[in-house]
Structure 1
């Protein structure tokens, strides 16, 4: 992949990577996905692991830090470029992107947007290289899509903080060297959620990672419960050096992540469409390719329409977020539509394939299971509807009424 010169990022609006260089990056990642990863999807599924040689290639290509600014060793892609890359990564097993997704996404972006200069210098270069895998430790039993219900606490003890609580479904937890931990430091009052963010190395005494979760799909991605029992960290662990930034960091990172999840969904739907078109053109019934049947063509048309609409929506939401025009509602709109669309696309793809589509090791069967999670993490579809609907109602209120 093209070597990019170091150039300090402005973090918003001005990408480190010119369009022509990004076109080369995108082409190389697309080729890697189609020629190196797609042929090994069954291996990833059956072994429930991304092979070490693929991980090494990912690191060599700079994908552990593609969204980290160049001054900290990343490629420096902005969100508009990120979603283009993610739509290509979504074309194959989602576990591939999951391996480096938190480094570039919700964990890494907390540091990029809210970390102190010392925290960024300490962690971001290793996050960008893949030497450190970062996990975003937010979700808890009873506090998933709504962080305000959080029960994990951080209590001051002199200059230190002592963290107690547990998190669940934490992506990359079994492999993480750093946990970005959200904890309650005081009761929520009004708009003050009372939540702060801490950087907790995985080897810190009191941190315990549970057994790897056994999931419906996305084989090769590793999630687990993480328990914090009397975990003591110093003042340098507090993100931004200020307890006030925590909830804002969570909401901003989640909103950005929702656009990226939407892009993954579009990539999955494109793959479901491609597999369906290929099958419809080659499989026969009574000597006639099933693609000649009008009802099959209707399903293919619905697949194509969903993919086109989703891609346009992702690109628009990314542009609105990058310019600051809409950092809350547009991400929710994109995630809601695209993840629901991907679920329908996977269902249609199985229907086009008939009984073949229900067989393990057929790509659309894996896609059907993989995309179901997209409507759950980074805020469920129901949460997205509440965000969108609430914003519409608030926008229509008469001032002072």
Structure 2
């Protein structure tokens, strides 16, 4: 419910962050002026704010940066991950007064204003982060400019009447409306069907670099539309929302698995793969967001530092192989989060399908998990070779 954007920094303008439990933090307007609502979450990256802001997975969320100084490298045209900024709102402590990077062609606050993103600066982001870690992610609102003068009771009423993240299907807000194709780089393997639930450009680039002709399909795609491109495999992207509210995408994935097509899912795609296998999902207290999350790859024993953005997780046994409740054979948890032992990856042992709960493309880093694109390529090549011998 953003107001018509106006530039916040032309005059010092007040702003207030209101959480659904009544907690209030006063600061200064940053970006567009008005009111915005969403789930307040924190991201722990000290860099890469442009990639975070343009990640469609953050739709519906007011993102708080735990790093205190944000905006010093500005914004550029090369590092954007999608067609716009998707966060519902933005919270920083100390926005940079100047842009100091030769690649920048816009400031962060100008970009927030252009895309109508209401933000707040000058508050104790450490205190807000500690509060969310204790009480859990919750709905919130940023009220800036004239809206900051609304009565506190009215502001809280507006926040508490906003929808919860649980139960929301947000894929339609971020997905493309028509298919788009990116040619393969190097030796071509074949066509890859990517269901766009909020895909990032870095993901598309990494898949194309592995020899896939990447067909990015709308989230409304049917199994007939997928089969029409004669795919060698199917990929489910990251994206926002509650996996429990995406029954249609789960049903489609089961049709993909029934066709014996190789499958790779990341982030939201991992949760939907879990559901397709017959597993449940649940909401995490405050989620994993940022670029410094330690994950154990059980196959190698290697600990990876990975980039995350998820507020939901798959419910599955961590230390044993189990049968898919939906009838897809044996399954194992392939990756485990070391901070809280959350499921961070799934691997089907009897069909060519696997997933991870994080970002292997990881723009702007870390790159520990980039090998997963190679692993996917190897799975597809082996599957095609097996078909040729039959």
Q: Give the TM bin, normalised by the shorter chain.
A: under 0.3
TM-score relative to the length of structure 1: 0.24
Structure with the larger helix share: 1
